[in-house]
Chains A and B, each alone.
Chain A
């Protein structure tokens, strides 16, 4: 079985934000919610690097561990999903996540947040694959159609890689071998442990 992972190659990302736009469009994510974002470090200075970040689908997911209603589950492909029928919008997953992945449609007085929304690795949710209910709650389910996440699929420089962890790291390893320098599997130690 595959173990799905994201990898963003900081040497290739050009901060075009196409992944962000593709994600918003594919899943029709409401205004104010961004499942994916691009962060540029040292913007305009020597050593500028950009990274596209979303839910990393952690091995030992902190969101899942702290959720008081236990609404998270990990699929056989290692994708961390959640059930919006159970979510109470308490914000705990947002406190726990190191990547700032959990998003809320609201952030208003008296802790009103609405149901949490986050990157699904384009794998929908617990509702029936491809159903209208799944689409309105979680967006498209590309994985069920045999496709990979759209953000990575349409990345113009192929900086963002998504897919089975072994394949992704093999592609990245070859790249580093060709271009020289050292590998930088950003966020991997945090999300997937030391392995």
Chain B
């Protein structure tokens, strides 16, 4: 009894493991302070003003300074924040959106597309090394596949309509003209706003059901060190999800939750959110969206062009045994150990085709 009770405490006090607590606590502190930091960013102007109010002798100047800093009064006009004369947050929002957000997002998107193209030219697609075995092993069940494509289609629509609002004025107005683009943007905005909540459901479900095989394991470090087999001859070990896919998953947990939370704030103005809340939600929404889009471009490249035999799993639900051994060896061994038996590729098409009437 005593031994069992003492063991964890003894291990915790052990000097060798103690250092682990600090990065964990640091991480926790960062997560907790993040919303506060956002608030601080918008604060300096107000903080400065209040200090001046205390020191300054000119009451009249202080009065109007407070107005410039967004002090509220009384108004007979009903509505949210109608009693505020000046709200300065919009200028921060505008300079962030028209400045770094538009600038760096464009370059990041261009860079990722360029990098994927370059990688394709240099490395070429990763072939199934030993050739197809002709034996298939189930990888994704029907529900997972339907969910995947449901989220994928919604994501593409949301990404394209979202980017249309971010860059449409610069990119699409010269092509479509003002009225042409406005007509499209009206539909784009509605599509984005009405489909968003459907995406929320799919995204949350996906995060929930795929959590179990996306927990980090020791072998992931090896995968990362060899960049998924790009460096070095040997293929690094991987479970059902490799380290790259796990990074994507956790990236989605973070950006997805940010997109969902801020998206819902922006999508339902009927709850009377303040402008400041809308402005910051918008900034976070765009930044998270661009990170998610960039990650998904990489994911789509891998599935469509980068890795032979990868897309089949998400379409038919089954993958070739040789592909499984090469890319997800640990998962393959687990499945075999569980008693899953690979089945040969069915070949009925050859027979049915002959039976069809031939046109002469």
Task: Using CB atoms and an 8 Å cutoff, list the residues of chain A in contact with chain B.
Answer: 17, 20, 32, 34, 37-43, 47, 49, 51, 53, 62, 65-71, 85-91, 94-100, 107-113, 182, 184, 186-187, 190
Q: Knowing A68-B168, A69-B178, A69-B185, say if A100 contacts B269 (CB, 8 Å).
A: no
* Known A43-B74, A51-B67; further 7 A-B contacts with Cβ < 8 A: A40-B73, A49-B63, A68-B164, A88-B186, A95-B93, A112-B193, A190-B68
Are B63 and A90 in contact, with the CB atoms below 8 A?
A: no
Residues of B near A99 (CB, < 8 A) are: 85-86
Are B73 and A42 in contact, with the CB atoms below 8 A?
A: yes
Are B86 and A98 in contact, with the CB atoms below 8 A?
A: yes
Q: Given the complex of chains A and B, what is the CA–CA distance between A40 and B67 in angstroms? A: 11
Q: Knowing A69-B178, A110-B194, say if A97 contacts B73 (CB, 8 Å).
A: no
Q: Which of B77, B84, B190, B267 contacts A34 (CB 8 A)?
A: B77
Are A109 and B173 in contact, with the CB atoms below 8 A?
A: no
CB distance from A57 to the nearest CB of B (A): 15
Residues of B near A17 (CB, < 8 A) are: 76
Residues of B near A51 (CB, < 8 A) are: 67, 85
Residues of B near A42 (CB, < 8 A) are: 73
Q: Knowing A34-B79, A66-B94, A85-B182, say if A111 contacts B267 (CB, 8 Å).
A: yes
The chain B residue sitting closest to A184, CB to CB, is: B64
Are B91 and A62 in contact, with the CB atoms below 8 A?
A: yes
Q: Given the complex of chains A and B, what is the CA–CA distance between A68 and B234 in angstroms? A: 50
Are B87 and A100 in contact, with the CB atoms below 8 A?
A: yes
Residues of A near B87 (CB, < 8 A) are: 97-98, 100
**Interface digits, B61-90 against A, CB 8 Å rule (1 contact, 0 not)?**
001100110010111110101111111101
The chain B residue sitting closest to A8, CB to CB, is: B85
What are 28 of the A-B contact pairs (CB < 8 Å)? A34-B79, A38-B75, A39-B75, A47-B59, A47-B63, A51-B85, A65-B98, A68-B165, A68-B169, A69-B181, A70-B173, A85-B179, A85-B182, A86-B178, A88-B189, A94-B275, A96-B90, A96-B94, A98-B86, A98-B90, A100-B81, A100-B84, A108-B269, A109-B270, A110-B197, A110-B268, A111-B267, A111-B268
Are A95 and B278 in contact, with the CB atoms below 8 A?
A: yes
CB distance from B127 to the nearest CB of A (A): 44
Are B282 and A95 in contact, with the CB atoms below 8 A?
A: yes
Q: Knowing A41-B73, A69-B169, A70-B173, say if A98 contacts B270 (CB, 8 Å).
A: no
Q: Given the complex of chains A and B, what is the CA–CA distance between A90 and B278 in angstroms? A: 12
Are A37 and B75 in contact, with the CB atoms below 8 A?
A: yes
Are B268 and A69 in contact, with the CB atoms below 8 A?
A: no
Q: Which of A39, A107, A113 contacts B73 (CB 8 A)?
A: A39
**Interface digits, B247-266 against A, CB 8 Å rule (1 contact, 0 not)?**
00000000000000000001
CB distance from A113 to the nearest CB of B (A): 7
Q: Which of A49, A68, A187 contacts B185 (CB 8 A)?
A: A68
Q: Given the complex of chains A and B, what is the CA–CA distance between A187 and B67 in angstroms? A: 9
CB distance from B286 to the nearest CB of A (A): 12
Q: Given the complex of chains A and B, what is the CA–CA distance between A108 and B75 in angstroms? A: 23
CB distance from A122 to the nearest CB of B (A): 19
Q: Knowing A70-B173, A98-B86, A187-B86, say if A90 contacts B165 (CB, 8 Å).
A: yes
Residue of B97, B189, B282 with most chain A CB atoms under a 10 A cut-off: B189
Are B85 and A96 in contact, with the CB atoms below 8 A?
A: no
Q: Knowing A40-B74, A86-B179, say if A96 contacts B269 (CB, 8 Å).
A: no
Residues of A near B68 (CB, < 8 A) are: 190
The chain B residue sitting closest to A86, CB to CB, is: B182
Nearest 6 pairs of A and B residues by beta carbon: A37-B77, A86-B182, A41-B73, A43-B74, A111-B193, A96-B90
Are B75 and A67 in contact, with the CB atoms below 8 A?
A: no
The chain A residue sitting closest to B195, CB to CB, is: A110
Are A34 and B82 in contact, with the CB atoms below 8 A?
A: yes
Q: Given the complex of chains A and B, what is the CA–CA distance between A53 and B83 in angstroms? A: 10
Q: Given the complex of chains A and B, what is the CA–CA distance between A111 and B273 in angstroms? A: 12
CB distance from B356 to the nearest CB of A (A): 49
B279 at interface, CB cutoff 8 A? yes
Residues of B near A94 (CB, < 8 A) are: 275
Q: Knowing A53-B85, A91-B278, say if A69 contacts B79 (CB, 8 Å).
A: no
B60 at interface, CB cutoff 8 A? yes
Residues of A near B193 (CB, < 8 A) are: 110-112
Residues of B near A87 (CB, < 8 A) are: 182
Q: Knowing A20-B76, A110-B268, say if A41 contacts B67 (CB, 8 Å).
A: yes
Residues of A near B270 (CB, < 8 A) are: 107-109
CB distance from A36 to the nearest CB of B (A): 9
Q: Which of A62, A67, A112 contacts B169 (CB 8 A)?
A: A67
